[in-house]
Chains A and B, each alone.
Chain A
Amino acid sequence: MKSSHQIELTAGIFLLLAIGALIFLAVQATDRGVVAGGGYQVTAYFSNIGGLKPKARVSMGGVSIGMVESISLDPDTLEARVVMRISDQYDDLPEDSSASIFTAGILGDQFIGLEPGGSPEPLRDGDRILLTNSALQLEQLITRYMFDSEGDD
């Protein structure tokens, strides 16, 4: 039987170990930075966003730089309004960058890819991306292809 001092000490070490595990997991295994409220917001309007969902990835050149924060329908233009949050470390993206909606693989999730423009002015918090390409919809492509080929017959 251990003395009560030893027991309390061991229990303390155990709890420290657990806190260490907590920090390790929080830092090493999860997506912090962008989610944690840092970064800046930009908006883009698309005529069709396909299956894009909030929290989707925003990338440039294949590298994740942020995520989709919210999606809503603009009541005037009836376009989809997508708000993105870009990580602070990418604060020098050209103002005239364009945004497109892509699909990761055939069945993968949809994400926004930014294509850099040539302007020396950087994108700032609250800016709007003017150049957008809507989602390519697989269903539409297939339907069009099928009806077209039917017409040919």
Chain B
Amino acid sequence: MSATSSPPGRLLNPLRQLGRAGLFLLTAFSRMRLTRFQAAETLRQIYFSGVRSLVIIVTGGFFVGLVLTLQTYDTLSRFGAAEAVSTVLALSLFRELGPVLTTLLFAGRAGTSITAEIGLMRATEQLDALDLMAIDPMERIVQPRLLAGIVAVPALVLIFNVCAILGGVVFAVFMMGSDPITFWSNMQATVELWRDFGHGMLKAVAFGFLASWLAVYFGWTARPTSEGVALATTQTVIATAISVLILDFVLSAFML
């Protein structure tokens, strides 16, 4: 108690949290057993976190693509380079906006419900009940959600990118009357499969891992009360947002 309220304790607190989250992850993975049940449950969780995020990802992606193209088109036309709009769109989507925005939306849509679900399971002693039935809650509850996040986020990023590019097509081709062939060929000429697209997808996997890890961790450690669960949900969103942006910078710096 006193260690957390004294000034040095408060400074060390985030560090301790990080250590605890790391240990939690280690335990979760050290007890990994790949069974048929595990696979089926992971698929179920992909449904809950992936499929149920589709609406927000599709609409979000489409409008991000629309507005991004609108703004870029306007800026580029001032330099007489409006035909580069598809390149700018694809590059910024693949490398940054796709993975980052998708993860933020995922944290808000799926991360929070994972945290709340596990927090409530803790509060209503469902996790204790599993333990008492000699069923490892790490294996049954935590691992499928972790694995599902690692799969679902990249999948959502892909869908987000497609929708955003369609948004770009709608604006540039249908509204501004750009030539569709130039639109696509300019994009193809500059965007590189591995260096732009592949690296972006690597980021997506890393972000998916981070987002589901934080969601599961905050749920697992939530105080077993209504406020505890509410607080944990908020923490999930904030921690995911901040750490994704930091990790994004680190990864970008390494990949370039």
Contact = CB atoms under 8 A, between A and B. Distances in A.
Interface residues of B, number: 31
Nearest to B148: A11
28 contacts: A4-B44, A7-B44, A7-B47, A8-B40, A8-B47, A11-B44, A11-B51, A14-B51, A15-B151, A18-B154, A18-B155, A18-B159, A21-B158, A21-B162, A25-B165, A28-B184, A29-B184, A29-B191, A30-B90, A30-B191, A30-B192, A30-B196, A31-B192, A32-B188, A32-B193, A35-B194, A64-B189, A105-B81
Name B's interface SS.
Answer: helix
Contacts of B197: 25-26, 29-30
B193 A31 contact: yes
B187 interface: yes
Contact of A30 (B50, B151, B188): B188
Nearest to B189: A64
A24 B164 CA distance: 13
Interface string A10-25: 1110110110011011
A17 B53 CA distance: 14
Nearest to A22: B158
Contact of A8 (B44, B158, B187, B192): B44
A11 B158 contact: no
Counting contact residues on chain A (CB < 8 A from B), the size range is 20 to 34
B107 interface: no
A36 B197 CA distance: 14
Contacts of B40: 4, 8
A81 interface: no
Contact of B162 (A7, A10, A24): A24
B187 A29 contact: yes
B158 A18 contact: yes
Contacts, number: 83
A85 interface: no
Contacts of A4: 40, 44
Interface in B182-239: 184, 187-194, 196-197
A98 to B, nearest CB: 23
Interface string A126-140: 000000000000000
Interface of B: 40, 43-44, 46-47, 50-51, 54, 81, 90, 94, 151, 154-156, 158-159, 161-162, 165, 184, 187-194, 196-197
B159 A11 contact: no
Contacts of B196: 30
Nearest to A9: B47
A31 B154 contact: no
By CB atoms of chain A within 10 A, which of B151, B155, B161 has the most? Answer: B155
Contact of A31 (B81, B162, B188): B188
Contacts of B51: 10-11, 14
Contacts of A28: 184, 188
Contacts of B158: 18, 21-22, 25
A4 B162 CA distance: 29
Nearest to B196: A30
